[in-house]
Amino acid sequence: MFIYGVSDNSLIAYMAANSDKILQLSLEHCLLVVVAVLIAIAIGIALGILISYYDVLAPAILYVCQIIMTIPSLALFGLFLPLFGIGFKTGVFTLILYCLLPVVRNTYVGITEIDPAIIEAAHGMGMNEASIMSKIKLPLAWPIIMAGIRTAVVMVVGIAAIASVVGAGGLGVFIFRGISQWNINAVLVGAIFVSLLAIILDQILKWVEYRSQV
């Protein structure tokens, strides 16, 4: 429950009065983003690998991903309401689609820009294609792939705020509740914690990237 009847109208007082709700919605927001991103990584890397072998498919798949990015987020959330109904599923599915472009594109670019001489040397050593992909291509492309993942995460943290409109929860509840009730503190709390979550997740991924290269 939101508490608006605090004697002090400051932002700090509002945050203190709604600390439990802030924690709950922050966890909901984080769960929404993490689930969507993990699924999008699996799909995006698989598609990136696929089009790295079949260049003829690359323009079409990348174009579809780009078209999805041009659809207004509120409209895209609304499009999937008849399929998944109000709640978490609609939010996750929509966010997965928004994650795909940077992951697919960076995976494709990272793999295709590897020096062909390295691949030829691997074939000369008798490595099969699966081994080349897992032991050479993906490790060499990993920094570029991680850049795409980090871009997707930061972008989707912001878009996830709109998911509250379809009942998926998250920090957007504060923002839209604040707008509807003319409560600037609620809007600020939502915006501040969305930004903090984006920064924290990006720094976590930066650490993961660093550790994976050590």
For the chain, give the number of residues. 214
Q: What is the pLDDT of residues 50-60, one digit of tens each?
A: 999 998 999 99
pLDDT for the residue 150: 92
Give the global pTM.
0.86
Is 40 inside any structural domain? yes
Is 101 inside any structural domain? yes
pLDDT-based confidence at residue 210 (cuts at 50, 70, 90): confident
- Which residue do the tokens 């109904």 mark? 85
Q: What is the pLDDT of residues 4-31, one digit of tens each?
A: 444 446 888 888 888 889 999 999 999 9
pLDDT for the residue 49: 93
Percent of the chain with pLDDT over 90: 44
Structural domain count, the chain: 1
Is 115 inside any structural domain? yes
pLDDT for the residue 149: 93
Residue 85 Cα distances to 77, 82, 92, 168, angstroms: 10, 6, 12, 10
Is 6 inside any structural domain? no
Query: In CATH, what number is assigned to the domain containing residue 124?
Result: 1.10.3720.10
Is 8 inside any structural domain? no
Cα end-to-end distance, the chain, whole Å: 46
Q: What is the DSSP string of 30-81?
A: HHHHHHHHHHHHHHHHHHHHHHHH-GGGHHHHHHHHHHHHHS-HHHHHHHTH
Residue 30 Cα distances to 39, 75, 95, 100, 172, angstroms: 14, 22, 12, 18, 12
Is 207 inside any structural domain? yes
Range of the domain at 198: 19-213
Q: What is the pLDDT of residues 81-120, one digit of tens each?
A: 888 888 889 999 999 999 999 999 999 999 999 888 888 8
The helix/strand/coil state of 6 is coil
pLDDT at 213 over 80: no
pLDDT at 200 over 70: yes
pLDDT at 153 over 60: yes
pLDDT at 125 over 80: yes
Is 74 inside any structural domain? yes
The helix/strand/coil state of 203 is helix
Q: What is the pLDDT of residues 171-194, one digit of tens each?
A: 889 998 888 888 898 899 999 999
Contact present, 171 and 188 (Cβ < 8 Å): no
